[in-house]
Amino acid sequence: MPCQLILALDLPDRETAAPLLRRVRGSVPWVKIGLQMFTAYGQDYVRAVAGDGFKIFLDLKLHDIPNTVAKAVESLSDLPIGMLTIHASGGREMVAAAKASAPPGLLLLAVTVLTSMDAAGLGEIGVAGSPADQVLRLAQLSVAAGAGGLVCSPLEVAALRSRIPPSVRLVVPGIRAAGSGANDDQKRVLGPAEAARLGADYIVVGRPILQASDPAAAAASMLAALAAV
What does the pLDDT read at residue 182? 47
Closest CA to 64 of 82, 42, 89, 35: 89
What does the pLDDT read at residue 108? 98
Number of domains in the chain: 1
By residue range, what is the domain housing residue 216?
Answer: 4-227
Decide if pLDDT at 179 tops 60.
no
CATH number of the domain where residue 168 is located:
3.20.20.70
Residue 170, helix vs strand vs coil: strand
Residue 157, helix vs strand vs coil: helix
Closest CA to 75 of 109, 55, 146, 84: 84
What does the pLDDT read at residue 125? 93
Q: Which residues are known catalytic residues?
A: 61
CA 93 and chain centroid, separation: 22
What CA–CA distance (Å, rounded) separates 36 from 123? 27
pLDDT digit string (tens) for 112-166? 998 888 899 999 999 988 999 999 999 999 999 999 999 998 889 999 999 999 9
pLDDT digit string (tens) for 46-75? 999 999 999 999 999 999 999 999 999 999
pLDDT digit string (tens) for 183-227? 455 555 688 899 999 999 999 999 889 888 888 898 998 899 899
What does the pLDDT read at residue 225? 87
